[in-house]
Structure 1
């Protein structure tokens, strides 16, 4: 599914998403659909990339003529051909742009007499190599992640000459989108929290494995049963991919109202899923969409430029924790956006009974930089770690505990690998996370204890956008002055900052070193901190 492929919302239902405008300006709520002739817009080239993905709409008719497909496509998936002997197809329970889902009954085997769901993808729809690879990857990812309780359980996949069949758990409670419509969009904070916790549980697990969903939206979360306390299950990994921790993707995929700004800029990682969860959280808590426009290009402009509003009802009466939580998810800078594991440690969620804390791959990014840093940089980080707030420490201490079950011990490269292997799937192996840990090899010979871990794993860029950063930075500098500051030459500072030792650079750095004793000034200290965790450069496959 792409930006234009989500199904329209039922027209008779109330409009929970609409901006609070005069009635005459309100429009029916629909997730944008594929259109044969999309209107001209600044995002036209982005839309065209999506439309070409499955060749279902032809922005250039000369590329893929009507009724034809790319030559030489191999539509054999190596799956079992025994679907019809094992399952009896029932009624259609859902339709997507490239396939449909039916109920089914298992006729034999361990699942005999069980009611299941079967996603049927016609091979006639697979008119491009990209479409075929999407199906292969979906089956591979579902097979790898099948164990998570908040993911619709994958049972098996089959094929014949006409279709691919993906056999899944049947969730009979309906879509989260339907629940939103039934309630007029507004959920209580407690109910919204219960849903968001479960979404984050499964997304944190996916991100640990190196899987990015890329189409997080209410339609892709189902309730297992019709019970009020039914668990929430993620579905539809048709746009998902396996990504290395240091990799950036550039394909424009997703659904318009939920797409992250960095996706539109064509350089993104797992943080894009977190943005989409933030949009869902905003909708659940207030019944409106945070980014809205009448056209696809308008939606994109709003996502890129606008800020979510928290001054309209019911936000003034909402808890400060819920508003802070949504802001943390909808941070436009992906380098400063909180991760799924961090979100589960946020004060609004962390005491919820359904929280399942996950190891966060994001802690290894600053740790890699720390292990490569000079003693001066490490001293600056240790000073900053001493002014962390309780909420920031809570997350880091939880991560330390996941890496080292022995609370009194230190972590080593071996304990890190053991912690990862406890949750490892085939997807994690493909995401090459163990190779990403190579800069931590020094921990094969020594231990890193709690205090050092908190310094090594903190994300400076996130701290810089929190209220009171200047005061905290000054407090950290005072600690650094006492415990870690030392004389440094300008050429050494330039090297620390990764700058070429030229005369103009030396002139810029003069204010970073005190003339009286050759030690770092406050500006130099901040500059040093700022280089510790720069946003990673885009890396595409």
Structure 2
């Protein structure tokens, strides 16, 4: 735990020498497959390290002096998660404290899934291609029917390993999501699901091209920008599709993307939806115990005691892709975008953005440290590439790009496979706009005038997706029709269609493109850009010219929906210029954010 006491960035730099030289003597990682692991537990690069010394020797030089030889380690951000995972899978020891989860009962569990029967008469299992905590994956061949003679992959999940209701629900949900979403060109094709007394069998497309991780390693650890774009567009395409359906993957990493063939231009497919879940409108990810992203990988190891050692060779690598908000126990689709940012960082430079020798250290780096963009090759990459990664690895999930926005980023502009899908964030932002005061709407309209051509292009794509009428306006019916156009069973299960209700106020009015731009602006995302101050200053200039006016504190409080009180009035005084009684620049920026009374009291 020595590195956890040092400065995260400095500790990272000491071990960040990128290398493409394999070292066969390095310790190996646990993996969900039986293949030789590729990530040594002490190297910041996904490539084998060139260090010949042991990790202990390396740690000595990077550990600050301490008063005690063996100091107490800081509390682990992982311990509570590991304890919950143990309870989730029924592996809690008699004397261990447990945390109630609900809906758990090991007695009388219903393991009848209602899937198709007689698996063995339809498929002949071949060689095993991967093994996990619950079961294994095999290549197989169809024996009859439409898949006769065709190679497929079969995920065999052992019912004896399903010791809690949550574990059973995980399998049921995985099948439902795969069945609902299958058909997207960058998502592994689902054929059918079977079950018998012993196992559940999930029959899927067999991807013979290997993992994205294998391709990264075969290229010496990194991609060129152009080749990285090809990969990122495919990843973003399928993730945008999933998010539109209300599905968050929650375990995005290079190992969970497979190529269909060995061909260099082979399509990339997302796999392993065993951790996926639905995101309900207006809520964070439901039930903390149901989204243990970083430790679901434990199911793919042979560990009997999942609450044992914290070393990375025991816990495997998903922790590298975990978003900060996951550690704060409340997250949604934005967590997937963080994971994509980590993948993009690795593709472009061959190193992980966050690293430590224990999973607790990784989590602290994720929460506190900033990824380095100073070392090679970053200074030699395009500014757009650096900006793309930075906007995905923003610790504030509100400032992070959505998948649709990432596809419209200048770095990917002009790529032949880019098609901007409908983005559900538009529904949320339009709702907030409709519920805003007239003064805030005026401020947002002023800010919208500062948007660049590229930012307007994204909004134009979203507006077009809504299908405006001949007069160039959209109404509630447009929002309903656009969402229904892409509806699947997954969208129904996630209740994403409820987003339409958030713009119900449009029923009796229409919105043109100019107003739509003001409504669909994410102030938080603009704030996360380097050009934010320029946007804010120019927006304030437009606001001064067209919409600023003298306003009393009482009127401002009323505009914000606040009840008059002394604390509120004291804070709002800073919003108004004493010279002419008009809104100050500070007030303009605060108004854009639509601060609540609770936020004002904290100010």
Structure 1 residues 39 and 495: alpha-carbon distance in aligned structure 2, compared to 1, 3 A threshold:
closer
* Deviation sequence 1:120-146 (CA, Å, 0-9, x none): 101011111111010010011001101
Aligned pairs (5 A) from 1:94-109: 94-109=130-145
Separation (CA, whole Å) in 2 of partners of 1:403 and 1:150: 24
Separation (CA, whole Å) in 2 of partners of 1:129 and 1:294: 34
1:237 is the counterpart of 2:273? yes
Q: How many residues align?
A: 520
1:522 is the counterpart of 2:585? yes
- The counterpart of 1:270, out of the listed 297, 319, 333, is 333
Structure 1 residues 135 and 5: alpha-carbon distance in aligned structure 2, compared to 1, 3 A threshold:
farther
User: What is the Cα deviation at residue 172 of structure 1?
Assistant: 0.5
* Deviation sequence 1:390-427 (CA, Å, 0-9, x none): 22212111111111266862111111211112211111
User: What is the Cα deviation at residue 192 of structure 1?
Assistant: 1.2
User: What is the Cα deviation at residue 470 of structure 1?
Assistant: 2.5
- Tell me the equivalent position of 1:33: none
Q: Do 2:180 and 2:488's aligned partners in 1 also have CA atoms closer than 8 Å?
A: yes
Separation (CA, whole Å) in 2 of partners of 1:535 and 1:157: 50
- The counterpart of 1:91, out of the listed 106, 110, 127, is 127
* Deviation sequence 1:442-464 (CA, Å, 0-9, x none): 32222211111110000001112
Query: TM-score scaled to structure 2, two decimals?
Result: 0.81
1:214 is the counterpart of 2:240? no
Separation (CA, whole Å) in 1 of partners of 2:598 and 2:388: 22
Separation (CA, whole Å) in 2 of partners of 1:207 and 1:275: 14
Aligned pairs (5 A) from 1:146-185: 146-185=182-221
Unpaired stretches in structure 1, ≥5 consecutive residues: 28-37, 537-541
Q: Do 2:34 and 2:131's aligned partners in 1 also have CA atoms closer than 8 Å?
A: no
**Range with greater deviation from structure 2 (503-512 or 293-302):** 503-512
SS at match of 1:437: helix
**Range with greater deviation from structure 2 (266-275 or 308-317):** 308-317
Structure 1 residues 524 and 141: alpha-carbon distance in aligned structure 2, compared to 1, 3 A threshold:
same
**Range with greater deviation from structure 2 (502-511 or 226-235):** 502-511
SS at match of 2:535: helix
Query: TM-score scaled to structure 1, two decimals?
Result: 0.90
Separation (CA, whole Å) in 2 of partners of 1:527 and 1:394: 27
Q: Structure 1: which 4+ aligned runs deviate by more than 4 Å?
A: 3-9, 11-16, 18-23, 56-64, 405-408, 532-536
- The counterpart of 2:293, out of the listed 253, 258, 264, is 253
- Tell me the equivalent position of 1:347: 410
SS at match of 1:335: helix
- Tell me the equivalent position of 1:438: 501
- Tell me the equivalent position of 1:122: 158
Structure 1 residues 468 and 181: alpha-carbon distance in aligned structure 2, compared to 1, 3 A threshold:
closer
Unpaired stretches in structure 2, ≥5 consecutive residues: 1-28, 57-72, 100-104, 295-317
User: What is the Cα deviation at residue 495 of structure 1?
Assistant: 3.4
- Tell me the equivalent position of 2:46: 17
User: What is the Cα deviation at residue 498 of structure 1?
Assistant: 4.5
User: What is the Cα deviation at residue 348 of structure 1?
Assistant: 1.0
- Tell me the equivalent position of 1:422: 485
User: What is the Cα deviation at residue 504 of structure 1?
Assistant: 2.4
- Tell me the equivalent position of 2:81: 46
Q: Do 1:52 and 1:59's aligned partners in 2 also have CA atoms closer than 8 Å?
A: no
**Range with greater deviation from structure 2 (303-312 or 52-61):** 52-61
User: What is the Cα deviation at residue 9 of structure 1?
Assistant: 7.2
SS at match of 2:53: helix
1:223 is the counterpart of 2:259? yes
Separation (CA, whole Å) in 2 of partners of 1:47 and 1:500: 45
Q: What RMSD, in angstroms, separates the aligned Cα atoms of the two structures? A: 2.8
Separation (CA, whole Å) in 2 of partners of 1:7 and 1:408: 57
SS at match of 2:442: helix
User: What is the Cα deviation at residue 356 of structure 1?
Assistant: 3.0
